[in-house]
Amino acid sequence: MSFIQLSAITPTPDTITAPSLVELAFTLSAAKGTPTAVYYQLNSDDNIYFQLSNGFLVKELVQLVTMPADTKTFKDKVLIQKVAVPPEQDHQFGFIYVQAVNKLNDLSAIKHCLINFV
Amino acid sequence: MIRKLSAAVLALSLLTGIARAQTPPTGQTGQTAQNTGTAQPPVKKVVTHYGPLVTKSSANLTVNLGDVGFTGSLPFDEAFGITVPIDGTVVSVAVWYRLKPKPYTAVTPTAACNNGWTKLDAYPPVGNSTNYQFTVPALKPNKYYQFFFSYKRKPDAIDKAALTTFTQQVIGPALEAKARTTAIGRRNFEFTNGEVNAIMDAIKGKIRAYVALKNLSVDFSLIDYGQYANLFNTLKNVSNAHQTSEDIKHNIEQNDRAFAAVQARLKHYRDTYNASGHTPVIAANVKLMDDIALALPAFLTPPLDPSTITAGLVSNYTTTCTSVLSSLGRIDITGDATYATLADDLGQFVQSNRQGVQDYYQSLQDATALAGAQSSSFVDIVTANLSNDVIIKGTTISGDFNTSASFYVSGDLGIAAVPQFSKAVPYLGTNIYFRPVNKDITLAGSPDDSFGDKFGRRFSLMFGLSIATLAKTNYRTDLFGGSYNLVTGAGFRITDYFRLNTGAIWYQKLNDNPLNSNSYIQPAFFVSFSIDLDVKTALDSLFPTRKP
């Protein structure tokens, strides 16, 4: 009956000059065998994006996992990219959200981390 | 006519007998003048402000402008010093000065820009001294000057608390104004650079307005990059804390929406289960399921309003969740996979929300504490600037300092050579300069002096009385009778005490016809050397040359 939980998200490095790879380390807790969707999200109204290997810029990435145990450690790397905007509209920091959803009952957990831009 | 002239001669004799220059008394700036220029700075004179320069009350910081000022006039033509005693709240002092402009402009200097003022060299206190000293270059005579004092100081605890509150009052609404919901369904506390600047400007405005009420001002122009980065970090940390709260809140709300399906499954199961029979166990299980159903409205309305949430509301909610879990644990149904899944899902949601609401409340507490701490940090940075880089213009001496003096008058004793008569006669004279003359400085003055300054210290008009007769039988007599003749002319100081003069001696020429008794006044050219009499006594009181 344990509910899905996320640990704090640790970005490495936490200060980048875009484009840059950022490793997101966290632990997901859910019952073994639970089908889980893990979403990586950025705010939709900023100039910060995930860049795919084909160059596409997206705001959300998702991966489906089945919990191999009651906990699973993640160390996924995402490529952070910025699009050019006027300086006053640029961001010096942004949030990366991780949302894990138990696909059996849609119960979810959300955490975020902060990335600094230089 | 003769009588009138005789009276004039008498008066002139009295004057010349005691005539002496009026020069600004060395170091005198009124009754409080002190000569404290001992070791430093290397200036000749010290002007000490009169009255309490800084007054500190327990409730606020006050610079008492009314008690600040110089008494008397300032020295001119020579450098002098200003001594500024400071108390423990004043970290440093800076002073600017300027000629009072015409037309008057109220612009004041800042640490970053002198704005047409001249900053004085400062000599901070050394050792146990509590005096700041400043060197003032030679001022022009007969000019109005303004001195601008800027005190760097720290606000006291009350002021800091007020500033912290103001900062929070800006950050809170700014966060709320920013936190619009994005397409991914959660509120966004990211700030653009422009938004960060707007927040900082708003905070600065609040602080500026607050200190203005205390006759202080803040100069933010000296916040350096590192300090700006710290200010930025304070906002970022507060944003991050609020984002954490928002994540939890969003997660609870999202789970509540997802719970609708579980709730429907529970209702359906209960209705189906109730129809399966009427054993005591079934009745008890139904009762427990009904209890859960009754508690679900409260479970589905978690206290998520940050403005109303309290520890009591959180406790009530967790009690509700615990009650649901308790009821769920007491339901005695085995071997039913559908119920097992339903119970597991229900338990997960309840546990998740119970933990979530507790976390949410704690995150709000953390965010509030962090906002307070960060706001305090913001103020710390500002106040650090106040004591290091940022200037609070705690006081300005806005009064005008009158360095003007009456025309300088000196007396001298000379010998005039009169070629026309092939005679030399002594005289007593009075020299009138067209500018004040500071005789405490060398005649040469300083290299910065203009031609006018140098010439003005040397040139004078002169009048006096010869004190030896020019009379010659049947040719001329002395103008005033006795041995007195009027001496007029102009002089030029060639050294501190010697003067070269030229002009005319006025005598009475007799008629060439000895039978005609009419006479008339005639000038005779003369050249003279004279000596400055340097008599300093009675003329000071007779001819006060300095305005109070």
The structural domains of chain B, with segments of one domain joined by +, span 2-22+405-542, 46-152+393-402, 224-388
Taking contacts as CB-CB distances below 8 angstroms, the residues of chain B near A89 are: 192-194
What does the pLDDT average to over A13-30? Answer: 96
Instruction: Write the residue in B232, B251, B351 that is nearest to A110 by C-beta.
Output: B251
Q: What is the ipTM of this complex?
A: 0.93
Q: Does A37 touch chain B (CB under 8 A)?
A: no
d(CA B222, CA B496): 49
- Residue A74: pLDDT band (50, 70, 90) is very high
CA distance B126 to B70: 24
In this structure, what is the dihedral angle of CA atoms B108, B111, B116, B118, given to the nearest 10 degrees? 110
* Separation between Cα atoms, residue A46 and residue B195, nearest integer Å: 13
> CA nearest A97 in B: which residue?
B247
| Through-space distance between the first and last CA atoms of chain A, rounded to whole angstroms | 44
Q: Name the fold adopted by B224-388.
A: I/LWEQ domain (1.20.1410)
Chain B residue numbers with beta carbons less than 8 Å from the beta carbon of A108 are 251, 254-255, 258
The answer to whether B171 and B116 are in contact (CB under 8 A) is no
- Rounded alpha-carbon distances, angstroms, from residue B142 to B73, B210, B436: 10, 40, 8
pLDDT of residue B187: 79
**Total Cβ atoms within 10 A of residue B48:** 22
Using CA atoms, how far residue B420 sits from B416, B488, B511, B524, B527, in Å, is 12, 16, 17, 7, 11
Is the Cβ pair A45, B180 closer than 8 Å? yes
Task: Provide the pLDDT for residue B74.
Answer: 64
For residue B103, cis peptide bond before it (omega within 30 degrees of 0)? yes
Contact yes or no for A5/A30 (Cβ under 8 A): yes
CA distance A105 to chain B (A): 7
Tell me whether residues B236 and A88 touch, CB distance under 8 A: no
Q: What is the pLDDT along chain B (548 residues), one digit of tens a residue?
A: 333 333 333 333 333 332 333 333 333 333 333 333 334 444 444 444 443 333 332 222 223 333 344 544 566 777 777 777 777 667 777 888 887 777 877 777 876 788 888 998 888 888 887 777 777 777 777 777 777 777 776 677 777 788 888 887 887 777 777 777 776 677 788 888 888 888 888 888 887 787 777 656 676 766 677 777 777 887 888 888 889 999 999 999 999 999 999 999 999 999 888 666 678 888 899 999 999 999 999 999 999 998 899 999 999 999 999 999 999 999 999 889 999 999 999 999 999 999 999 999 999 998 888 888 878 777 777 665 553 232 323 222 323 333 334 456 677 788 999 998 888 999 988 888 877 676 666 777 777 778 888 888 889 898 899 988 888 888 888 888 888 999 999 999 888 778 899 999 999 888 877 777 788 899 999 999 888 765 443 344 444 444 33
Residue A114: its H or E element:
strand A108-117
Strand partners, B429: B412, B464
Beta-strand ranges (E) seen in B52-185 are 55-56, 61-62, 80-85, 90-99, 118-119, 121-123, 131-136, 144-153
| B192–A107 CB contact, under 8 Å | no
- Does any CB of chain B come closer than 8 Å to the CB of residue A76? no
CB contact under 8 A, B243 and A95: yes
d(CA A53, CA A77): 12
**B contacts of A3 (beta carbons < 8 Å):** 347-349, 351-352, 355
| Residue among B193, B232, B247 whose CB faces A111 most closely | B247
Closest listed residue to residue A30, CA positions, set A111, A97, A101: A101
Quote the number of domains for chain A.
1
Q: What is the pLDDT of residue B299?
A: 92
Which residues of chain B make contact with A95, given a CB cutoff of 8 A? 188-190, 240, 243
Within an 8 Å CB–CB cutoff, is residue B230 touching chain A?
A: no
Q: Residue A75's domain spans which residues?
A: 5-117
Q: Is B276 within 8 Å of chain A by CB?
A: no
Q: pLDDT tens for residues B256-277?
A: 999 999 999 999 999 888 666 6
Predicted pLDDT at B438: 67
Among the partner residues B183, B190, B347, nearest to A95 by beta-carbon distance: B190
Residue B204 has what pLDDT?
81
Amino acid at position B300, single letter: L
Cβ contacts of A98 on chain B, cutoff 8 Å: none
Beta-carbon separation of A110 and B248 below 8 A: yes
Mean pLDDT along residues A91-104: 94
One-letter amino acid for residue B118 of the chain:
T
Tell me the CATH number at A26: 2.60.40.10
Structurally, at CATH architecture level, domain B46-152+393-402 sits in Sandwich (2.60)
